[in-house]
Copies of this chain bind each other. A is one copy, B any other.
Amino acid sequence: MPDAAPATPVGSLSEEAVLAAILECLGPSDSLVGPGDDAAVLQLADARVVVTTDTLIHGPDFRLAWSSGRDLGAKAAAVNLADVAAMGARPVALFVALAMPPETTIGFVRELATGLREACDELAPGCRVAGGDLTSSDTLTIAVTAIGEMEPGHSPVLRSGARPGDILAICGEVGLAAAGLDILFERFRDEDGQAVAVDAGILTAPERTAVAGQLRPRPPIGSGAAAARAGATAMMDVSDGLVRDARRLARASGVTLDIARLALGPDSDRALRGGEDHALLATFPANTILPAGFRAIGSVGAAGPDPLTVDGLPERSAGGWDPYRDWDGAGG
Contacts and interface: CB of A to CB of B under 8 A. Distances in A.
Interface in A1-39: 10-11, 13-15, 18, 32-33, 36-39
Contacts of A87: 33, 37-39, 41
A60 interface: yes
A135 interface: yes
Contacts of A89: 39, 41
Interface string A230-243: 00000111000000
Interface string A41-65: 1111111111111110101110000
Contact of A324 (B13, B38, B49): B13
Contact of A252 (B36, B146, B235): B36
Interface stretch (A125-133, A198-206, A267-275, A288-296): A125-133
Contacts of A45: 47
B32 A156 contact: yes
Given A41-B150, A51-B147, A55-B99, A136 B323 contact: yes
A278 to B, nearest CB: 10
A95 interface: yes
Contacts of A150: 41
A194 interface: no
A141 interface: yes
Contact of A42 (B51, B96, B145, B327): B51
Nearest to A159: B37
A61 B135 contact: yes
B44 A40 contact: no
Contacts of A160: 37
Contacts of A86: 38-39
Interface string A91-103: 0010111010010
B59 A40 contact: no
Contact of A159 (B38, B49, B235): B38
Given A32-B48, A38-B159, A53-B132, A137 B97 contact: no
Contact of A51 (B99, B131, B141, B235): B131
Interface in A109-123: none
B57 A99 contact: yes
Nearest to A11: B324
A51 B10 contact: no
A10 B327 CA distance: 13
22 contacts: A10-B324, A15-B324, A18-B324, A37-B156, A38-B236, A38-B237, A39-B50, A39-B87, A41-B87, A41-B89, A42-B49, A47-B47, A52-B95, A53-B143, A54-B97, A55-B133, A57-B136, A60-B137, A102-B329, A138-B138, A138-B331, A143-B143
